[in-house]
Amino acid sequence: MLDILEKYNILEAFWMTIRLTFFSAIGALVIGTVLAIMRVSPVAVLRRLGAFYVNIVRNTPLTLIMFFSLAGVGIVLEVSLVDPSSPTSLRDNAIRWAIVALAVYHAAFVCEAIRSGFNTVPLGQAEAARSIGLTFGQSLREVILPQAFRGAIAPLGSVLIALTKNTTVASVIGVAEASALMKVIIENETASVAVFLVFALGFVILTLPVGVFFTSLSRRLAVKR
Amino acid sequence: MDDVNPDTAAPSDRTPDPPRDPMVVIDGVNKHFGDLHVLRDINLTVGKGEVVVVLGPSGSGKSTLCRAINRLETIESGTISIDGTALPEEGKPLAQLRADVGMVFQSFNLFAHKTIRDNVTLGPMKVRKKSKSDADQQATDLLKRVGVEAQADKYPAQLSGGQQQRVAIARSLAMGPKVMLFDEPTSALDPEMVNEVLDVMVGLAKEGMTMIVVTHEMGFARKAADRVVFMADGQIVEVGTPQEFFTHPKSERAKDFLGKILTH
């Protein structure tokens, strides 16, 4: 087992997992917040668009979205996210499309988590914000969103954990993250339980602190009413 | 009413109806909640510096009327104007108008994630574009005035109901409002905290703030109101001075209402 660990760079594979998680989490948070605002906005068209996005994306397998991003949009429609002349363009293009797919997919879940956070904010908070003359945007920024995020921290933590594990799907478009390396090792060396355990442990090490952190954060930042 | 000489009339029996210098004009306002006709053809003019107390049984539409004045409730017909400006549609002009109309809610509605001081400075900084130091100074003065300056760095949930409501009043005052609306400001308070809020309100009334107060506090109505408006079933049934209304109510509906609440 040790010789396998020496032969393959497992840390680098997990580093890729972390990078995928980090960038797609930021993307998902931004898109998801915009979607959540759309879903609570007073404009019916925006509300419907937001709901449409969530219902379509949430109910599509991530593997399909991953394939569709790189193969459909990236290769067939020739939308490249990298400079095609760079020597690592193929690899980087796959990584970036994987991040896009992960962000787009998890945005739907982030949206629903934040929307549940909105529901923890009493209607009176918005009324008070409007009654001192804040515009819709200012009410959102200053009063509603800060409270909604605090109410959404725990479910957002769950989404982040799911996202971390879902980065393994990026291997279907050839991104060399942890699970891709595991498949390589199983292919080339041995399909032993030990190999599986090493990678499973790696994911536990990544996700367990996230869960602990978000739980304590949600307790610390809880809005007392 | 016609024989009252406005020059010699004491404040308690002043009946400025219609006031010569109107601040809030409500004209032919109607609203339904589903089948329920909550506001039926409401006409009311509130003069500058006038204190109008709206009384009536629950479900009479008095809270809805109060909330309609800064368009927290939309109306179906009629117009409401404040200091000569009709309420605009939702958008920036409405936000600007709301900044001039203070609102105090039954459930206080302090911003739960902000300190007491930040509750008071938010509007002045974001809407009136005051500097942080100016807004802080003003907040300190206002909090001192309502008697909660010692709590400035606490969060709303750490304060008693009476303290929270006084902060809510300070938050409204920080905007320099032309008129203040009070929607049952003491109904959610423990009895021993009612007076500390009413005292602040009486002080405001004495200083000449235009106030529309929906309340069940008859003592406040007697002490501070220029006029009492009695509502029932979505209609204004009776308007008069507190003196007239409490001693000689004209309508059966008002007699019945007063009979029920004043016997205890």
Q: In this predicted model, what pLDDT tens digit does every residue of A63-106 receive, in sequence order? A: 999 999 988 888 787 778 877 788 888 888 899 999 999 999 99
Q: Does B96 touch chain A (CB under 8 A)?
A: yes
Strand partners, B214: B54, B183
Q: How close is the nearest chain A Cα to the Cα of B179, in Å? A: 12
Distance between CA atoms of B240 and B263, rounded to whole angstroms?
21
pLDDT number for residue A41: 87
Q: Do A132 and B109 touch (CB under 8 A)?
A: no
* Residue A9 structure tokens: 């760079």
Answer whether 0.80 is exceeded by the pTM: yes
Q: How close is the nearest chain B Cα to the Cα of A47, in Å? A: 17
Domain residues for the domain of A146 are: 2-221
Distance between CA atoms of A119 and A138, rounded to whole angstroms?
18
Distance between CA atoms of A159 and A29, rounded to whole angstroms?
10
Distance between CA atoms of B196 and B174, rounded to whole angstroms?
19
Q: What is the mean pLDDT of residues B217-244?
A: 94
- Cβ atoms of B100 and B175 closer than 8 Å: yes
Q: Domain tally for chain A?
A: 1
Mean residue pLDDT of chain A comes to: 91
Q: Does B111 touch chain A (CB under 8 A)?
A: yes
Sequence-separated (6 or more) residues with CB below 8 Å from residue A166 = A62, A102, A105, A106
Q: Do B99 and A133 touch (CB under 8 A)?
A: yes
Q: Do B123 and A122 touch (CB under 8 A)?
A: no
Q: Do B157 and A130 touch (CB under 8 A)?
A: no
Question: What count of other Cβ atoms lies within 10 Å of the Cβ of residue A18?
Answer: 14
Q: Identify the band that residue B14 occupies on the pLDDT scale cut at 50, 70 and 90.
A: very low
- Chain A and chain B share a number of CB contacts under 8 A equal to 78
Q: Identify the band that residue A223 occupies on the pLDDT scale cut at 50, 70 and 90.
A: confident
A96-142: pLDDT as tens digits:
999 999 999 999 999 999 999 999 999 999 999 999 999 989 999 99
Residue B239 in this model has a pLDDT that exceeds 70: yes
pLDDT number for residue B1: 43
Which of A127, A131, A139, A153 is the best mutation test for B, with the most CBs of B within 10 A? Answer: A131
ipTM confidence: 0.87
Residues of A in contact with B90 (CB under 8 A): 42, 136
Residue B246 in this model has a pLDDT that exceeds 50: yes
Q: Identify the band that residue A5 occupies on the pLDDT scale cut at 50, 70 and 90.
A: confident
Q: How close is the nearest chain A Cα to the Cα of B75, in Å? A: 17
* Residue B169 structure tokens: 């009043």
Sequence-separated (6 or more) residues with CB below 8 Å from residue B95 = A130, A133, A134, A135, A136, A138, B127
% of residues, chain B, pLDDT over 70: 92
CATH of the domain at A191: 1.10.3720.10
pLDDT number for residue A48: 97
B63-75: pLDDT as tens digits:
999 999 999 999 9
Residues of A in contact with B111 (CB under 8 A): 125, 128-129, 142-143
A191-220: pLDDT as tens digits:
788 889 999 999 999 999 999 999 999 888
Q: How close is the nearest chain B Cα to the Cα of A41, in Å? A: 13
B118-167: pLDDT as tens digits:
999 999 999 999 999 999 999 999 999 999 999 999 999 999 999 999 99
Q: How close is the nearest chain B Cα to the Cα of A158, in Å? A: 23
Q: Do A128 and B112 touch (CB under 8 A)?
A: no
Residues of B in contact with A129 (CB under 8 A): 111
pLDDT number for residue B17: 53
Nearest to A135 among B92, B100, B103 (CB): B92
Residue B6 in this model has a pLDDT that exceeds 60: no
Burial class (CB in 10 A: 0-12, 13-18, 19+), B187: middle
Q: Do A127 and B92 touch (CB under 8 A)?
A: no
DSSP notation for chain B: -TT--TTT--GGG---SS-SSEEEEEEEEEEEETTEEEEEEEEEEEETT-EEEEE--TTSSHHHHHHHTTTSS--SEEEEEETTEEPPPTTHHHHHHHHTEEEE-TT----TTS-HHHHHHHHHHHTS---HHHHHHHHHHHHHHTT-GGGTTS-GGGS-HHHHHHHHHHHHHTT--SEEEEESTTTTS-HHHHHHHHHHHHHHHHTT-EEEEE-S-HHHHHHH-SEEEEEETTEEEEEE-HHHHHHS--SHHHHHHHHHHH--
Q: Does B122 touch chain A (CB under 8 A)?
A: yes
